[in-house]
Each structure stands twice: as C-alpha cells, then as structure tokens.
Amino acid sequence: MASTSQQTAPVIDITMPWFGMDIGGSLCKLVYFEPKDITKDEADSEVETLRNIRRYLTKNSAYGKTGHRDTHLQVHEMGQNWRGTAHFGDAATACFMASPLMEDVYIRGRKGTLHFIRFPSSEMVNFLALAKSKGMANLVTTVCATGGGAYKFEEDFRREVNMKLEKFDEFDSLLKGLQFADAQNPSECYYWASPTDDTCCTKINYDFSNPYPFLIVNIGSGVSVLAVYSPTNYKRISGTSLGGGTFLGLCCLLTGCNTFEEAIQLAAEGDNTNVDKLVRDIYGGDYERFGLPGDLVASRERRSKVSRQDLARATLVTITNNIGSIARMCATQEKIDRVVFMGNFLRVNPIAMKLLAYAMDYWSKGTMKALFLEHEGYFGAIGCLLQFHNDGDIKSQVLASLKYGVKMHFIQKKKEKFSLILPASSIHLAPCKFKNEETERIQCIFPPTWYSNVCNDVCAHSDQSCCGKRKRQFNNVCCQDENEEESEDTCDPCQSQRSKSVCKQPVCSQKGGSQSTCSKCYAPATKKSRRGGAAPCPKPRPPVCSRKRRKGPPKSVYDDYCQLCPQTDAEDDDEDQCDIGYKSPIPRKKTPNTAESYANIVLHYLSKLKGLFKSARERNNDSSSYFDGEKYDPISKSILKKGIRRSGYSDSDSENKQKVYDIVNAALQYGCANDIIEKVGNYFLVKAKSPPQKVATRRPTPGPDYFRCASCKNLSKFATRRKSVVDLRGKDKISSKFRRHSTYYDDDYGRTTPTRRKRSASNTSVVNYCPKCYSRMKSNRRL
C-alpha cells in the first residue's frame, strides 16, 4: 500500500461542484469554487458531466443572454477591468492591480479559484433549464443558498435539477463572505479620497483588519442597515425600500432605458441640477445658519427641457443621497464611525460611491468614513459557499468527538455553535490579515457559521486573548454561563458582547483601550493602555481549572481526564462537581501556534486508541507504533502481517475504539496531524516521537506497595525491608498514645480494622509504622 505521507488527504468530495448562491430580489449571484489541486485519482473518478460543467463555467464569461461572469473579481486582467484605467488615476490603478483577488484561495483545505457569476433572478427558469441541459439533474447535489430566492425557488430547484437547497440566512452569509473576502484579498476594502474632485479623486486601500464596530449598508433591491460589533454579533437596525430596485425601476420608466448599465451610463452623462431645485435656487446662496450649502438639492422637481441623462442622474443622486442620509443617522445613533457600503447597486457605479463618500464626510464633519468593497454584491454567495453542504457530516463528527471528549481541548459547544479554544484561541481567524496554515486548518474543520461569539480581531495578535469565551474551558477570563443572556455592553477592543456576570475573577489580559477600566472584567487599565497602548491589564490570570471532575478513579480508559488538573473528568458535567479553583499542578504554558500543537492534541487522543490495543500488542510482544491489527514496516512502507488477534475486548470497547478511530482519522483528513501521524491502510503510524502524555495520577491506595501507618495514618511506601514492630499488647512499654493503636489490627495491606479478639499473648500481629513514626517511637520509647 502506498504511503500517504506525501499526499494531502481529500477533505470533501471535490468532484462535486462547490456552489454558493445568493438569490436576491434583482440578481442571482453564483460563486463557483474551481479546484486547482485536484489529484489524479479524483480526476479519474470525476464523471464526464462534471468535467463539462466545470469547463463550461470557467471557460465562458457569458451564459445565455443574461448570465455573466465577473472575471475582474477573480483575477486582475489589464484592460478588462473597468476600474483599470478608465475612471481612476494611476495611484488607484496601481493599488488595484497590485492586489490579489480570488485565485489560489483555500476553502476546506482545498486550493482553487473562485468564479463570480450573476444573472437576473427573473431568469431563474432559464437558468434551471440550462443547468438541466448540462446534466446537473443527474448529479443529485446539494447547494448552499441564501437570499429570498432560496425559499422562493426551492421547489423549482428540486424538481428541475434534482438539487437540494441548503438554506442560510442572508445576513449571516453576508458577514461570513465579507470576512472571508477581506482575509483573502488585502485590498478588498477601500475608500475614496477627494471624492468631489474628479481630477485627483483616488481610491485608497483601507486596512480592515480591526473593523469592529462598523455599519453595513447593503444596497441591493432594497437597503438593509446592519450594525456589526463582532464577527457574529450584529443586528439589523434599519432599512429602506428606496434602493437599487427603485433606482433601476424609476430610471427605466423615466428614460426608457432597459438595463442597469445603460442607466448608469446615462447618469454619467447627465446633470441633476437641471432637474433638481437647489438650496441656492431658493436662497440665492447657502442657508448658512443651518449649514445648508447652496448646491445642496433642496427638492426634486421636473423642469422643462431636461434630457434623459439629466433624469437618470437626478434619480441616481436622489436615491443615493437618501441612502447616505439614512446611513449617517444610523451611524450616529449607534455611535459608529465606519460605514461599509456594499450591494450590486454600487456595481460600475462610481457616481454613487463618490456621492456617498462625500455625503458621509460632509455631514459628519469628517468624523465618519464611507468604505467600499471590491466584491460588492457577492458576499452573501461567498458566505454560502463557505457553508458547503458536507458541513452536515463534519458537524456530526465534531459533535461526536466532543461527546467523547476528543476535541475538548480546542472546541466547546455553545448552543448551536462551536467555539474554538486552545490552541485555536491564539490563532488568527478571518478577518485578521495575519493568516497562517493553522487558521486554514481550523477553518477547514469548522465552517465560519459554527464559530461562537469569538473575538477574532484583537485577540489575534497575542496569546493573551481578550475574549473570555474562547478560553472559558481554561477559566482564564470571563467565564460565561452558556445559557446566560448577554447584555448590551460590549468589550471595547473586540466589541464582543459581555455578560453581566462575567469575570468573577477580576483579571483580564486584554488591552484597556481608551477606557479607564477594562470593559470586560472591570480591572483597571494601565496608564499605557489608557493612552491607547497595548498593555495588558495588570493582574495575572490564576491557573485554575473550572472543569468538573469525577471523584474517584476512572471508569474505563475512555473516561476523560481534565487536562489541567490530573483528575478524572465526569462524562456528565452536571453530575460531578470539580473543585473550582483547584490549582493546576501543571503550569499552563502558552500553546505554540504551530502545526505540531494540533498534532499533539490528536496524538493525545490517539493514545486512547492505543490503549485499546495495548493488550493485543503485549500479547504479540510488539511495541511498534501502530494501533490496529496490522503490522507495518516503516522501511518498506508495507503491511507485513495482518489480523492480530483482538480477543479480550468488550463490545463497548470496540464501539469506543471505532469512535476515537473515526475522529482521529477525520483529524488526519483535515490535515491536523499529517506531519506526525500517517494513516496506512487501517491503522495509524506515528511518524515522530509522541510527546509525553499527561497521565492522570491516582492517589495511592493501601495495597502491596503502600501501607497505612498505624500511628499517623498516612500512606507510606513499603521499603525493601518493611519496618514493622511487634505489638506486644499489654506486655509492651508503649505509651498510651501508641497503645491506642494496639486495639487495631493492621493487615498486610495496611488496612486497619478493629479487632474483637481478646488480649492474649498469642494475639499479636504485624503493625506497620511509617519511618518517621517508627524512629520517633524508637527514640522516645526505647522500643
């Protein structure tokens, strides 16, 4: 059998098409992931239909009459990009051309290119017919979909192309897509400098790595305004029906144009002042007292001799200004100063973007910033794609692994979501720009929607995460009750909501920000942090373990051990209470953010698997590093012997074995421990030396090795020569203190039982004393 060490284990069946769909009121956005790391085996197993579909999607840029692929959002192509040179100065072009877009992105551990396709939602029937003609119906696929159309067209998809729509919330998807795009594309976010001056107006990159809080104004058919406080904490605060749909509808009616592109083209050539009545038309100049400039549109009215162009421009300006005004009010109300505008209304629409940029800046007196994004209207579809349909399988695996304690090191389940604990807590998740391999790995396993309310941004730059939720299991900070209602207050740096009862321990590692106290734990911020520096709060975190543990010995090898204190952990957390505050004898170390740290975790659980085969290995006098019934020769890389007898296991053992086996296998598949473990055939081979495992230490009990001192009752280890004294029962010279013990009979194992036998010369027995008591007795009583 060939070694698997060189190959990347396929995570999910790549041979099925990976689509994310956002079916909106006007446009259907389709994001397609084209795999670039397809192996020969995968290529061979791929059916002809799929190959054709891939070729059709990636080789064309127009589909039917109304479908288009936005190639400029996938890769920069000189000349093809409308932003390239036509509208902007050199600086803007240079900035744009320098940035990578969506080629060679990693999703679920697979490398590929994202393709961005759109067509009018009204063409859904034709789209389905096309998909059917390409053989989609034979594939029986599941596609993640969002937007109103995911509900509206669900039945049509099933009927026409045998496709199941896995539906996701459109704003959840929007946010996930935005985080992903920003993490992938360094120049995703930008703003307009000098928006009113056509000659020097430039597009400048905006570093969006620490974005919270911000406002999203999604201008699609209608407009939705979301206030976003953290990657998963947001609310829809407002909206208006006067959006892109209104503009297009009005413009078509007023000018007789037919398409959005035509409407924008007309608007670019028109002058809205020919239509609009300005403040200066009424006041003769500015209305200074209330700061209304003369060229502000006072009202909209149709005058004589206006061109189609003027009408288009006036419609565009009207709709845009109205949205800008709502956005500004929302931002003021929420005390947010960054407003991100997105949605396809902004597609090929620099007039609207510049107007918004100017309006936000002017009316906020420079305190608010309008931000824009390259992939304007595709975030919902991207977010959907990230929630690829096989997630269901992964989710059940993760749930199973949590149940058996396998991944408790780095995952915890919070309601319907999972949050990542160590070592993931020190890992940069999107939208942080400092991505690394581990981030991708963890993101491969856990789709973004499963992340709990974690702080991804500020925590990312240090191990001292400010978000208590992630470290809850380690009880470092802010241990929040799972079912607790969260308050409105937010943690300043990360903007994650905080609980009213957080931080019973007044400790925190987070930055104080501009507050005088840390808003999460109320610990005073340092002077440095008050100045906005990055000093951590002064108090150290106590190394306590909050995990509940079982009292007494473990039931089986599958009992979970608390990793902090070496006590056995309860299967059911609610039943057995751990001593909260029990000091960990194991110093908590900063977990290095390396691939090895993942591998070590997996190795730890592999040891459980190993445990099951221990007896088999011993019987076969075989100590090599494999865990299943096949012997492996690392030199020839082949299996030498098959079928080691596996007698002596109970049914539950083999059931457990299978579960742990599955989980370790899954972890390997997702690339968690490929450097150290290799799967060959039906077993795992440890390639590197396993790290020392934390072994749960049991308290010594009286037995062949230990005895209980008849005097002090402490347990002592038997020396090679046992120190015993003969209790002469009345004939001795032992003081009353020691005589008290003579009424007890200590057996060979140190068990002390009261004796009912009468005193007699023959009633003598061996009594064990610890060396300390023995020597004390000997010296004091001349024994």
Ligand X SMILES: Nc1ncnc2c1ncn2[C@@H]1O[C@H](COP(=O)(O)OP(=O)(O)O)[C@@H](O)[C@H]1O
Nearest-Å Rg of the Cα atoms of the chain is 35
The active-site residue, picked from 123, 160, 166, 170, is 170
CB-CB contact of 576 with 550 (8 Å): yes
Angstrom distance (rounded) from CA 629 to CA 112:
38
Minimum separation from the CB atom of position 177 to ligand PAZ (A): 13
Angstrom distance (rounded) from CA 689 to CA 230:
40
First to last CA, the chain: 73
Among 224, 321, 591, 711, binds ligand PAZ (CB under 6 A): 224
Angstrom distance (rounded) from CA 150 to CA 121:
11
344 binds, among ligand X, ligand PAZ, none (CB under 5 to 8 A by kind): ligand X
Q: CB nearer to ligand X: give 117 or 599.
A: 117
Q: CB nearer to ligand PAZ: give 12 or 216.
A: 216
Among 67, 222, 431, 448, binds ligand PAZ (CB under 6 A): 222
User: What residues from 91 to 120 belong to the interface with ligand X (CB under 6 A)?
Assistant: 120
Minimum separation from the CB atom of position 237 to ligand X (A): 19
Angstrom distance (rounded) from CA 174 to CA 230:
14
Closest-by-Cβ residue to ligand X is 24
User: What residues from 439 to 458 belong to the interface with ligand X (CB under 6 A)?
Assistant: none
Minimum separation from the CB atom of position 526 to ligand X (A): 45
- Is 433 in a helix, a strand, or coil? coil
- Is 109 in a helix, a strand, or coil? coil
Looking at 344-352, 553-561, 647-655, 733-741, which segment touches ligand X (CB under 6 A)? 344-352
Give the DSSP H or E segment for 15: none
User: b/e for 381-411, b at 16 or more Cβ within 10 A?
Assistant: bbbbbbbbbbbeebeebbebbbebbbbbbbb
Angstrom distance (rounded) from CA 274 to CA 277:
8
Angstrom distance (rounded) from CA 567 to CA 250:
71
221 touches ligand PAZ by CB under 6 A: yes
Angstrom distance (rounded) from CA 522 to CA 505:
10
347 touches ligand X by CB under 6 A: yes
Looking at 18-26, 46-54, 682-690, 741-749, which segment touches ligand X (CB under 6 A)? 18-26
344 touches ligand X by CB under 6 A: yes
Q: Are strands 164-167 and 110-120 parallel, antiparallel or unpaired?
A: unpaired
Helix runs in 514-629, H state only: 527-530, 595-619
177 touches ligand X by CB under 6 A: no
Residue with tokens 């109103």: 148
Neighbours of 233 (CB within 10 A): 20
669 touches ligand PAZ by CB under 6 A: no
Q: CB nearer to ligand X: give 239 or 634.
A: 239
464 touches ligand PAZ by CB under 6 A: no
260 binds, among ligand X, ligand PAZ, none (CB under 5 to 8 A by kind): ligand X
Among 84, 89, 186, 239, binds ligand PAZ (CB under 6 A): 239
27 binds, among ligand PAZ, ligand X, none (CB under 5 to 8 A by kind): ligand X
247 binds, among ligand X, ligand PAZ, none (CB under 5 to 8 A by kind): ligand X
DSSP annotation string for 438-471: HHHHHHHHS-GGGB-S---SGGGGSSS-S-GGGG
Minimum separation from the CB atom of position 26 to ligand X (A): 4
**502: its two tokens:** 């957080």
Q: Are strands 338-342 and 214-219 parallel, antiparallel or unpaired?
A: parallel
240 binds, among ligand X, ligand PAZ, none (CB under 5 to 8 A by kind): ligand PAZ
Show the binding pattern over residues 229-268: x = contacts ligand X (CB under 6 A), - = does not. Answer: ---------------xx-xx-----------x--------
DSSP state of 293: -
173 touches ligand PAZ by CB under 6 A: no
Minimum separation from the CB atom of position 337 to ligand X (A): 24
Looking at 239-247, 271-279, 490-498, 553-561, which segment touches ligand PAZ (CB under 6 A)? 239-247
Q: CB nearer to ligand PAZ: give 240 or 505.
A: 240
10 binds, among ligand X, ligand PAZ, none (CB under 5 to 8 A by kind): none
Is 485 one of the annotated active-site residues of the chain?
Answer: no
Among 8, 25, 662, 687, binds ligand PAZ (CB under 6 A): 25
Angstrom distance (rounded) from CA 253 to CA 444:
48
Angstrom distance (rounded) from CA 151 to CA 165:
9
186 binds, among ligand PAZ, ligand X, none (CB under 5 to 8 A by kind): none
Looking at 229-237, 322-330, 340-348, 426-434, which segment touches ligand X (CB under 6 A)? 340-348
HEC letters along 121-156: HHHHHHHHHHHHHCCHHHCCCEEEEECHHHHHCHHH
User: What residues from 131 to 160 belong to the interface with ligand PAZ (CB under 6 A)?
Assistant: 147-148
Known catalytic residues are 170
Residues that bind ligand X (CB under 6 A): 24-27, 120, 147, 220-221, 244-245, 247-248, 260, 343-345, 347, 377
Residues that bind ligand PAZ (CB under 6 A): 24-25, 147-148, 220-224, 239-241
